[in-house]
Amino acid sequence: MPVGDGDSLMDTGQSISEPIILATGVTKTYRSRDVVVEALNNVSFEVMPGEMVAVMGPSGSGKTTLLNCMSGLDSIDAGDVSIAGQLLRTMSDDTLSDYRASSMGFVFQVYNLLPVLSAQENVELPLVLAGASQKQARVQAGEKLGFVGLGDRTDHLPAELSGGQQQRVAIARALANDPAIVWADEPTGNLDSTNAGEIMELLVRLNKEVRQTFVLVTHSEEVGAVTDRIVKMSDGVVIDDGNGESNS
C-alpha cells in the first residue's frame, strides 16, 4: 500500500476484520536527570477500521503518550506500532511526515492553530504538504470549512475566532486530506458544554458518514459514551481495552 495517500489507505481492500492500528508491547520511558517515568509499560491494543475509540483514564495514566506513540509523533523504546499493516519504526522521518500529512489528522485540546495564518490557510497547509496545487488546496479547504460550519469565517485569523470556532477549524484541518485515522487529544477539553456537544456531534457524524477511524483521548464520560469502545488506562498500562481484555 502506498504511503501518503489517505484515500488509498481507506480503499485498498484492507479487510475490516484486520486492525488498522495495532500496538504490541509498546513501552515508553521519560528520563529527566534523576527522574525516570515509565509512561507506557508493555501496552498492546488494536483499533479496527471505522471504529471510534476513546482512551480514558486518570491524569498521568499515559493516554496522551499512547496517542503520540501510536500516531508516530513520538518514538517508542520497545514494542511495535503498525498502521494499516505498516510498521512505523521502519519509516524515515520524511516518510512519516508524508504519512501524517496525507493519512492522519490531529485535533488537539488547545486547538493549536497557526496564529499567523487565516482559517482557510490553516486548512490549506496539510493539503499543500500532501501535494495539492494551491488552487486545489483553496477549493478543498473552503469545502472543509463549510462542512464544519465556518464557510463565512475563512479569512479570519485564529485570534478572531471563538474557542469552539477554532476547534472547528482544527477539525477541518485534521480532515483536509480525508485521512483514514483522526487522532484527537481532549478535543472538547477547552470548550463549554454546548460547544463540546456540537463538536462531538460533528466527530460522530464524520465517523458514521465517512467511516473514518477515530482515536480520542478524553477525561469526559460524555465523550466516552458516544464512542464505540472505551480503552481504560492506569499507570501506563491498559487495564481494559473495551473488548474485555487487559495488559496488566
Partner 1 sequence: MEKLFGVEMNVLAGVLLGGTVVVLVVVLLLALRNKVLLKLALRNIPRRKAQSVLIVVGLMLSTTIIMSALAIGDSVSSSIRSAVLDAVGETDVRLTSPVAARFGDDYLDESFVVRVREAVQDDERVDGVIPLIREQLPLLNEATDKTVAGTSVVGVSLDSLRGFDGLQSLDGGSGDLTGLAAESTVVINRTLSTKLDAEIGDLITLVAPSGRGQYRVIDIVEDKGLAGGEEQVRSAALFSIETLQGVLGREGQYNMIEVSVKGVLSVDEGDSDDLAEELQLLFIDDEASNALFQALKTPMVVEALQARLDEGGSAVGPFSSDTLDNLVAELDKDAPSDEFKVAITDTITLAIVGGVIEEIGDPELAQSLLIPASQLVDMQVAAIKNQGLAIAELIGGFIVALFSIFGSFSIIVGLLLIFLVFVMLAAARTTEMGIIRAVGTKRRHLVQMFAYEGIVYSIGAALLGTLLGLLASVALVGIMGGLVGEDDGFDFTYNVTLQSIVVAFSLGLVLTAITVAVSAYRVSKLNIVVAIRGLGQEFVQDETPTVGRRIFNVLKALGGPYVYVYGTWRLRREGWRTQNRLGLFLLIAAIPLPILFFVYLFDLIQLRGTGHGLFTRILGYFGRAIPFVWIAIII
**CA–CA gap between residue 108 and residue 111 (Å, rounded):** 5
Q: Does 195 bind partner 1 (CB under 8 A)?
A: no
CA 190-191-196 angle, to 5 degrees, is 130
Per CB under 8 A, contacts with partner 1 among 35-74 are: 68, 73-74
Pair 177, 207: CB distance under 8 Å: no
Query: Starting at the edge strand that comes first in sequence, how are the strands of the sheet with 21-32 ordered?
Result: 35-47, 21-32, 78-83, 86-87
Q: Does 214 bind partner 1 (CB under 8 A)?
A: no
- Our CB check for partner 1 shows the closer of 79 and 197 to be 79
Could you tell me the smallest distance in angstroms from the CB atom of residue 117 to partner 1?
7
Per CB under 8 A, contacts with partner 1 among 216-235 are: none
- Our CB check for partner 1 shows the closer of 125 and 239 to be 125
Could you tell me the smallest distance in angstroms from the CB atom of residue 194 to partner 1?
26
Strands 104-107 and 181-185: parallel
CA distances from 47 to 2, 21, 135, 145 (A): 20, 5, 35, 28
Could you tell me the smallest distance in angstroms from the CB atom of residue 145 to partner 1?
15
- Our CB check for partner 1 shows the closer of 19 and 126 to be 126
Q: Does 31 bind partner 1 (CB under 8 A)?
A: yes
Per CB under 8 A, contacts with partner 1 among 69-128 are: 73-74, 93-94, 97-102, 106, 108, 112-117, 121, 124-126, 128
Alpha-carbon 21 to chain mean position: 12
> Nearest-CA neighbor of 215 among 76, 3, 51?
51
Could you tell me the smallest distance in angstroms from the CB atom of residue 140 to partner 1?
13
Per CB under 8 A, contacts with partner 1 among 151-190 are: 173
CA 235-239-240 angle, to 5 degrees, is 145
- Our CB check for partner 1 shows the closer of 2 and 13 to be 2
Alpha-carbon 227 to chain mean position: 14
- Find the binder of partner 1 among 130, 217, 231, 237 (CB under 8 A): 130
- Our CB check for partner 1 shows the closer of 3 and 210 to be 3
Pair 105, 174: CB distance under 8 Å: yes
Catalog residues that contact partner 1 under the rule CB under 8 A.
29-33, 68, 73-74, 93-94, 97-102, 106, 108, 112-117, 121, 124-126, 128-130, 134, 137, 173
